[in-house]
């Protein structure tokens, strides 16, 4: 992964701007899931390393804008760029990383460049949909799945498919693998927002609900409670919750199996991902699914 980090830095260095490089180095590094995925599928070619670095730059750009949209002060337990330098700097740094990634992408094969850039268009459309859905209590599961497909799964799907292109593998099955991995990843993230404490998350617990996001466990819960409880849940939407409210939400989610069934939904997606690549005999890809589902942060 060191080579990917180095390439990312080199791409940013092409701008020949010390301040930008300094800002870039302050961005909390992530799990680099997309880069690992690309290298495991495409193999360790120069183009694969480049693609991995580009996709991680693009992903970092999307998180910079995401944190502005969500008014997030923390990212992976560290202060977010917007909390240190303000929204304006975050927006611009995001644009810089996006366009640096796109410029580097033009050196890769045309089908790879299209796949990745098209996914970014979907990703941005997904962010916009997320903002729209968060304006009121969304109780539509289909819209939630469409939104997380665009917002999270599209870039993981494109990473997987474009890595298959570079590695000369069957693109279609890797596309299915990536899409299901991406959807499962987001569902797990949404579950962890509820089940984990804020220390582990590196951000406040139950933050999604405060931000107007009714993720899968909320959608299940809402369907499974009576009119009075529905009214109570709606009254807490987007509010600062006290400890009693938090406990009530978490307990009712446990009692109604809303958390278990969300977990089961993610596991099913993981199973579909594994099914699609079962003939590829690549243990790393099964490990990625397992680690992603059974993670606790």
Query: Any contact of residue 102 with a second copy (CB under 8 A)?
Result: yes
Whether the Cβ atoms of residue 167 and residue 42 lie closer than 8 Å to each other: yes
Give the shortest CB-257-to-a second copy separation in angstroms.
34
Query: Any contact of residue 89 with a second copy (CB under 8 A)?
Result: yes
Give the shortest CB-144-to-a second copy separation in angstroms.
16
Instruction: Give the footprint of a second copy on residues 122-141 (CB under 8 A).
Output: 122-125, 127-129, 131-132
Whether the Cβ atoms of residue 124 and residue 36 lie closer than 8 Å to each other: no
- Which residue lies nearer to a second copy by CB, 122 or 274? 122
- Binding window for a second copy (CB under 8 A); candidates: 35-43, 94-102, 167-175, 237-245: 94-102
Instruction: Give the footprint of a second copy on residues 63-82 (CB under 8 A).
Output: 65, 68-69
Q: Which of 9, 10, 45, 118 binds a second copy (CB under 8 A)?
A: 118
Enumerate binding residues for a second copy (CB under 8 A).
14-15, 17, 19-20, 62, 65, 68-69, 87-89, 91-96, 98-100, 102-103, 105-107, 110, 113-114, 117-118, 120-125, 127-129, 131-132
């Amino acid at each position: 992964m060191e080579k990917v980090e180095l390439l990312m830095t080199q791409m940013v260095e092409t701008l020949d701007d010390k301040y930008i490089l300094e800002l870039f180095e302050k961005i909390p590094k992530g799990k680099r899931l997309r880069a690992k995925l690309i290298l495991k599928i495409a193999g360790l070619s120069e183009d694969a390393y480049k693609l991995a670095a580009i996709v991680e730059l693009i992903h970092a750009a999307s998180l910079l804008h995401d944190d502005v949209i969500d008014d997030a002060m923390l990212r992976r337990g560290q202060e977010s760029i917007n909390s240190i330098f303000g929204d304006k700097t975050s927006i611009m740094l995001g644009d810089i990383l996006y366009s640096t990634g796109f410029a580097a992408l033009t050196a890769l094969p045309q089908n790879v460049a299209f796949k990745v850039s098209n996914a970014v268009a979907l990703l941005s459309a997904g962010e916009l949909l997320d903002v729209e859905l968060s304006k009121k209590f969304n109780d539509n599961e289909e819209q939630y799945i469409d939104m997380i497909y665009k917002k999270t799964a599209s870039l993981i799907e494109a990473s997987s498919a474009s890595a298959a292109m570079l590695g000369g593998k069957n693109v279609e099955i890797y596309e299915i693998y990536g899409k299901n991995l991406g959807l499962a990843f987001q569902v797990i993230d949404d579950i962890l927002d509820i089940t984990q404490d804020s220390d582990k998350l590196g951000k406040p617990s139950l933050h999604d609900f405060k931000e107007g996001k009714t993720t899968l466990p909320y959608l299940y819960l809402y369907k499974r409670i009576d009119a009075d409880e529905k009214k109570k849940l709606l009254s807490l939407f987007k509010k600062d919750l006290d400890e009693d409210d938090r406990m009530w939400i978490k307990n009712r989610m446990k009692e109604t199996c809303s958390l278990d069934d969300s977990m089961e939904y993610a596991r099913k997606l993981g199973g579909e991902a594994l099914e699609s690549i079962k003939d590829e005999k690549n243990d790393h890809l099964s490990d990625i699914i397992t680690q992603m589902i059974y993670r606790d942060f």
